Every structure is written in structure tokens, then in C-alpha cells.
Structure 1
Amino acid sequence: MDRRTITVHHVRAVLRGAERTGLDTVPLLQEAKIPPLLLGDDRARVTSVQFARLFRALYRATEDEFLGLGTAVSRPGTFAMMCYATLGCRDLGAAVERGVTYYGLFPGGPELSLVQQGDGTAVFSVRNDLDSDEDRFLTECLVIIWHRLCSWLVGRRIPLSGAGFGYPPPPHRDEYEELFGCPVRFGEDRTTAAFDARWLTAPLVRDEPALEAMLRRSPFELLSRRAYGTTVAEQVQRTLARALRESPRLPELGDVAARLALSPATLRRRLARESTSYQQLKDSVRRDAAIAGLAEGREPIAGLAARLGFAEDTSFHRAFRRWTGTTPGAYRISSHETPRQ
């Protein structure tokens, strides 16, 4: 299970369509076990499990695959039929073109395109009505889902060489490189994802039974952030998360560098090039484990603090407040409140 957490910005964004259609979002948040009060703190985060519950609740409530965020409704089953339409294609390039053509048949849908550039790069782009998608959540989801669907179709993760966004950098811009797994740029004409055009000749390796199994878990599986191990930061984060499950004492930088066959200095430089540091990764692993533990609610806070390597409860409380803007106790209480009738 993905243990990483999701910024509250994405929680607010995914609710926007339901709010615009007049749905009461409080019961939806309660169904997802997300405390409504968290939405008021920019530092708050939720687990991937909580976010998936919210996504499912919104999907049922809106009866719209775009969750009310588009200019037109995408009826449930639209994405599945597009996937079935691509399976018979000779290669990935033909499959993407068929998918782009398919969505182009629906008035008011997002404008999708695939362009092969002269430098051997393929660029998939999305242009959506930003008035209806003010947080750009739908636009970004479409890019993520298309990239991960393409990777699934060919049975290998397709590395992105870059991603561009047709708007200024948001306050949570630091989330983007991890989410897309590549360098990112803001202020572009469209929202795009670029990759080596040679992938377009890759044959499709999936059949209908595999597609049916994938669709039972979609779009939540395609949207979940997964570490492919293609960046040094992902490798370090995966190493630290595994170590934390075994012991509260996380390894030192030198130990992790040795596991990756790097010198400590080289590891520091490579992490810096990926706009992070060893300490930041340690904090994020502990933060996500703390939020998941509190949301699950089965472990005393003192025991959770000890398991995460904090010598004193007060140190854990200070760290948690710094990470999320609230205390562990307040987070747990609000996460497990009984909804008022």
C-alpha cells in the first residue's frame, strides 16, 4: 500500500466540482474519514487511503468521471470504453491517437493532443477550461492517468523527460517533481508531458482480462503516487520507509549511500539536483508514517512516537505540528469523530 500522504490542496481541489453543483461535501469528507477542519490549514495532509475513499464518494455522488470539474459530464463507463477501443491497436502511438480521437467526440470535453517533435520527443498535452477547473486538478489528473495508462499498456514505466503547466507555480509546487517524476516548468501555453518518441512504437502487451482487472481498481490505482525507483530520491525514500518498518532508528546518510553504491558526497549532490536533501526525505517518511498511524487509530500516540524514533513525546508533538499545523491528538480526535446527525 502507498504510505505517502497528499497535500490538503488536492483535497480542496477534488471537492470543487461537487461544491459547484450544490452537493454537501461534509458527509463526503466524513465518509472518507477526513476531518473537515483540516481543509483550513495549508500544511495539512491526508493518507492515500483517505483520498481514495473521497474520490470514490465523489464519483458516486456526482455520477461524473470528471467529478463535476469539467465543462461537461463524462458519464461513468466512458474511460473504460476508451481503454477497450485502444487494445486492438498495433502499438502505443496508435493507441494514444485512438484515445485522443475518442475523447474528441464528446462536446465540452478536454482538448487532448499528441505531437512528435523533430528532436525525437513526443508531447502529450491537455487543454481544459480553466474557469471550470480553477485548481487545475482535472487537467493534472488527465496527464497523470494518460501517462500511467500508457505505461500499463506496454508493461513498462515510461520515463517522462519533462512536464509543463499552463499556469503560474502554485504554493505546493514542491510536490510536482515527485508526482510526475521529472523536471517541471510553469507558465507554459498548455499542460504537457514529454517522453522519448521511440516509446510510441512499443507493442501493447495487455489483453481484455487484464484490462477488466485494472478497471476494477481504476482510476484510483492510476492516480496513486508510486515510487518507480527511477530517481535517487525515490530510491532513498523507499530505503528509509523499509528501514522504518523494521526499526525506529533510521540509517545514516552514509549507510544509505553504501546501499546505493554511492559515496556520501555523491548522494548529497544527486539529491540536491533533485531539489531535496537526506533530512527532508527522512522527515517526509516519518511524517507520512505518523499521519497514516494516526488515521488508522490502532496505536497509542506514545507508542507511535517511539516507533518513529522519537525519544520523547514532546519532540514528536513539535515535529508533527511543524509538518501539519496541528497536534497528533487533535488530528486523531478529528479523524475519528462520529458524524452528527
Structure 2
Amino acid sequence: MANLTVSGHFVRAALCGAERQQLETPALLRRAGISPELLRAPGARVNSAQFSRLMQVIWQEMQDEFMGMGPRRCKPGTFATMCSLLIGCSTLESVLLRAYQFSNLFENPVCMRHERRGEQIALVLEVDGPTHDPLLFFRESILVIWHRLCSWLIGQAITLEQACFDYPYPLHGDEYRHIFHCPLTFEADRTELIFSARFLSAPVIRDRPEMKRFLKTSPADLLARPDEGNSYTGKIRGLIGRDFSRPVPDFEWIASKLHVSPQTLRRRLKQENTSFQEIKDLLRRDLAIYHLGKEDRAINDIALLVGFTEPSTFHRAFKKWTGMTPGAWREGETQEGD
């Protein structure tokens, strides 16, 4: 199965703290298997495994789980210690209460505080003290980690109803559509995630052995892998599959498999800030990047695999997606592997 990919913006953003401390960021990238040269392309992307490794390299090198962006240094092991305390909780509500208490043990705490608003819960980001977060990665990563951690603990994807941000729409704001899968509000009073209050009573289903395995790759893995959960985007990706050399299922067939009308499905995808055509295009892009990194297929063969009968059409589409031709992309990957 092809890896999903992560925008090069988030790679550059994750390195902001390291750059500020004058660390050799090209060396950090290479340790994660990422070509610094390839990253210069406007549409550069890395696979989820590379991004996960980069997070681990940064934390190890900086000895700071806040990556030099937070109001204080967050010593390695802090996240794991918090998780070991959360595994004893009975419900998601008790998880959120205990995590908030844990975070407040530290000077200049960084917390996710929940508050009930009728039938909804707002999970509000609170940061006490100045941050170095010019590309917003620190705030974004906390929201993503907490949403996915909570979903993992209760064994079901928490469907977001809204995501709010106390800053203007950023240059990379289009990426938010594929991260949160819900209506987005910028220049809000607070940065918060809003979801149904019914999730608060959901039981924690994980045990300590599961948590031990989970912590081997988290929270890096939580940041690296797009969380599509119960979204229609994720369901459609699963129904389409990874073989574009065969005809792609049409929209009406997809709707019937999901037991909704085509009109309802279009409305749901609009609420998730995407479309059927975009889902297909992004699948093709990620699949092409996956195969280009493997070096065992000719570029013309990859074009057929991702659904292009004419190699020239594939070259144009790939350059539109990434800012580079397939050949230049593969050359950059190959040079990094040598």
C-alpha cells in the first residue's frame, strides 16, 4: 500500500526551532531520509514514514518535545509519562481532566482544556508564555496529537464538527482541509476543536501493553499519518483502492456502497472541504510519489499505474502537483539514497 504524503511546508515548519538554535538542519533531514534539495521544490512532499522519522530525529537532537518552539523546554519522556497516567482512566472525560492536571504541574503550561457547550465539547488550546512558532507548527501539532490520541484511546474516530484558530488564514491553509475534515474558522477568539459531547462518556479501551507499543512511534506517528477515521474522504479512498490501471469506480457506485444518495455524498464531501475529483487526484499523486521512490519501475509504467494513458499527461500533472517533473523527483530521491 502506498504511503500517504505530508506537505513539504510541515517539514520546513517542524525545523523552525532547530534553525533558531543554529542546528545543522540539512543533516537532520538526511538522518530522516529526506533530501534537502528535493525539499526546495514548491510542491515538495515526503512520505509519512520520513516525516515520522524526522520528528523523532528532532526530539532526540534537541532533547525537547516542543522542538524549540514552546514557552519552555519539554524534556523527553514527558508525553510518555502523561500517557502512562491516562491509561488508567475509565472514560474520555477523565482522560481530559487528568491530562489538564498533569500539564499544569509545569511552569508555563501548554494545555488542552475542555468545556461543555450544550451538546458540544470545545477542546481549547491554552499556552502560557511566549512561543517561537512563526509557521504555526507548534499549535497545529498539539491539536492534531490530542485529537488522534483521544480517538486512539477510545478506539473510535472523534468526528470534528468545527476547528477554530485565533490567527488569520495562513499561506498553507489549504492543507488544513486534509488535516481536520470539518468546517474551519480563522481569526476566532480561541484555538479549539469542537465535537459532540457524547464522546466524553466513551470508555478508554486500551491497556498498558497496547500503550507500550503505541509509544514506540508516537506522537511522531500521530502527526505523520492523516487521520481520516470515519470521514467520507477516508471511506472513499478505501473504496477506490490503489490500482488506477483499472477503471476508477464512478461516483454513483461509491454513493451506493456508502448507502447515501449522490446528492448527500456531495454535501458531505463539501462539509469535509473536498470533492470526489480531488480525492482521486491526491490518491494518484501519493501513489506516484510512492512508486518514484522505489526505483523498480520505469516512469512510463508508473504513469499507467496511476491512471494516465499518456506519459506526457502524467508529467504535466505531476509537475502541477509538486513543482517538479517525475524524473527530477526521482533523481533527488536517488541522490539522497546514495
Q: TM-score, normalised by structure 2?
A: 0.91
Letter in 2 for 1:101: Q
Q: 1:173-207 CA deviation, whole Å, 9 max, x = no partner?
A: 22223212322211112211112223222332222
DSSP 3-state at the match of 2:215: helix
Alignment of 1:160-175 (within 5 A): 160-175=160-175
Contact 2:39/2:45 (8 A) holds in 1: no
Q: Return the offset for 1:248.
A: 4.1
Partner of 1:232: 232
DSSP 3-state at the match of 1:217: coil
Contact 1:248/1:308 (8 A) holds in 2: no
Q: Return the offset for 1:11.
A: 0.9
Partners of 2:336 and 2:270 in 1: how far apart?
44
1:6 aligns with 2:6: yes
Q: 1:268 to 1:180 in 2, by over 3 A?
A: closer
Contact 2:31/2:54 (8 A) holds in 1: yes
Q: Return the offset for 1:273.
A: 4.3
Partners of 1:210 and 1:283 in 2: how far apart?
35
- Count of equivalent residues: 336
Q: 1:268 to 1:8 in 2, by over 3 A?
A: same
1:299 aligns with 2:297: yes
Partner of 1:22: 22
Q: 1:161 to 1:130 in 2, by over 3 A?
A: farther
Q: 1:203 to 1:278 in 2, by over 3 A?
A: closer
Q: 1:276-307 CA deviation, whole Å, 9 max, x = no partner?
A: 32222211110111111112333221211111
Contact 2:33/2:336 (8 A) holds in 1: no
Alignment of 1:143-182 (within 5 A): 143-182=143-182
Partners of 1:297 and 1:56 in 2: how far apart?
26
Partner of 1:59: 59
Partners of 2:221 and 2:2 in 1: how far apart?
10
Contact 1:2/1:225 (8 A) holds in 2: no
Contact 1:30/1:339 (8 A) holds in 2: no
Partners of 1:131 and 1:40 in 2: how far apart?
26
Partner of 2:92: 92
Letter in 1 for 2:101: T
Q: TM-score, normalised by structure 1?
A: 0.90
Partners of 1:45 and 1:155 in 2: how far apart?
29
Q: Return the offset for 1:37.
A: 2.9
Partners of 1:81 and 1:74 in 2: how far apart?
12
Partner of 1:215: 215
Letter in 2 for 1:125: V
Letter in 2 for 1:294: L
Q: Return the offset for 1:82.
A: 0.7
Contact 2:7/2:46 (8 A) holds in 1: yes
Q: Return the offset for 1:321.
A: 0.5
Partners of 1:106 and 1:40 in 2: how far apart?
38
Q: 1:326 to 1:71 in 2, by over 3 A?
A: same
DSSP 3-state at the match of 1:36: coil
Query: Greater relative contact order (Cα 8 A, min sep 6): structure 1 or 2?
Result: 2
**Alignment root-mean-square deviation, CA:** 2.2
Q: Return the offset for 1:270.
A: 3.9
Partners of 2:304 and 2:83 in 1: how far apart?
47
Q: 1:253-274 CA deviation, whole Å, 9 max, x = no partner?
A: 3333343344545544443443
Q: Return the offset for 1:338.
A: 4.5
Partners of 1:255 and 1:322 in 2: how far apart?
29
Structure 1 gap segments, 5+ residues each? none
Partner of 1:108: 108
Q: 1:45-77 CA deviation, whole Å, 9 max, x = no partner?
A: 221122112112212211211222212111111
Structure 2 gap segments, 5+ residues each? none
Letter in 1 for 2:41: D
Partners of 1:171 and 1:248 in 2: how far apart?
36
Contact 2:69/2:131 (8 A) holds in 1: no
Q: 1:246 to 1:279 in 2, by over 3 A?
A: closer
Partners of 1:109 and 1:151 in 2: how far apart?
23
Contact 1:5/1:48 (8 A) holds in 2: yes
Contact 2:13/2:137 (8 A) holds in 1: yes
